[in-house]
Amino acid sequence: MAQGFDLQFCHFGIYVSDLSKMTDFYHRVMGFPITDEGPLHGAPMVFFSRNPREHHQIVLVAGRPKDAADDKVINQLSFRVASLGEVRRFYLRIRDEAMASDVHPICHGHAWSVYFRDPEGNRIEVYTDTPWYVHQPVREEMDFALPEDEIERRTETLARSLPGFKTAEEWRGGLVRAIDALAAQG
């Protein structure tokens, strides 16, 4: 706990140029139910969530200028899934989606990811953790058409060859100790 607060990421909001197109993408393609919609200070908004404990995990807000396509509004939006199988299934879904672009299946050593861009160019990552940790950043193209056991074998071989290799549990234990040490200072 930093400074006595247990801060956890809960949701994000992005400005969009085409609210209708972006709503369709996050609802139909990404599979997020719409939980609410309406204006605030004249700006139409749409809220989405896949967690019944969270009113919204995503909020889209109309008002991004159409000529701001190259403007860096966000770096990436990341969504965790439960398994490598789910990442692979999502990759197969998104690679043929006309509204998605720049699709890349990636291995980070500590995670398997598929990166792509939504209709307005925002980068999205869908990922799951591997059982290993390595120092970051690492970005290796990964063939998600391979069988899962082959992907796991290749990933472990890669991870063992990189600096900082350890199990994910060992790394998490070190992070817990670091967090506790900071809390003790506070």
Q: What is the pLDDT of residue 178?
A: 82
166-167 and 132-133: which strand pairing? Answer: antiparallel
Which residue positions in the chain have pLDDT lower than 70?
1-9, 68-72, 75, 182, 186
Q: What is the pLDDT of residue 69?
A: 58
Q: Whole-angstrom Cα distance, residue 140 to residue 3?
A: 36
Q: Do domains 1-66 and 74-186 have the same CATH topology?
A: yes
Indicate the class that CATH gives domain 74-186.
alpha beta
How many alpha carbons fall within 13 Å on the CB side of residue 86? 13
Q: What is the pLDDT of residue 45?
A: 92
Question: Which of 23, 83, 10 minimizes the C-alpha distance to 53?
Answer: 10
Fold classification of 1-66 is 2,3-Dihydroxybiphenyl 1,2-Dioxygenase; domain 1 (3.10.180)
Question: Which of 25, 43, 47, 19 minimizes the C-alpha distance to 34?
Answer: 47
Determine the residue type at 154: R
Question: Which of 8, 7, 22, 18 minimizes the C-alpha distance to 124?
Answer: 22
Q: What is the pLDDT of residue 1?
A: 39
Q: What is the pLDDT of residue 47?
A: 92
SS (H, E, C) 73-108: CCCCEEEECCCHHHHHHHHHHHCCCCCCEEEEEEEC
With beta carbons less than 8 A apart as the criterion, state whether 7 and 66 touch.
no
In the chain, where are the structural domains located?
A: 1-66, 74-186
Alpha-carbon dihedral angle through residues 124, 113, 34, 10, given to the nearest 10 degrees: -90
Q: What is the pLDDT of residue 186?
A: 64
Locate 179 and state its tokens: 């967090």
Query: Is the pTM value of this prediction over 0.75?
Result: yes
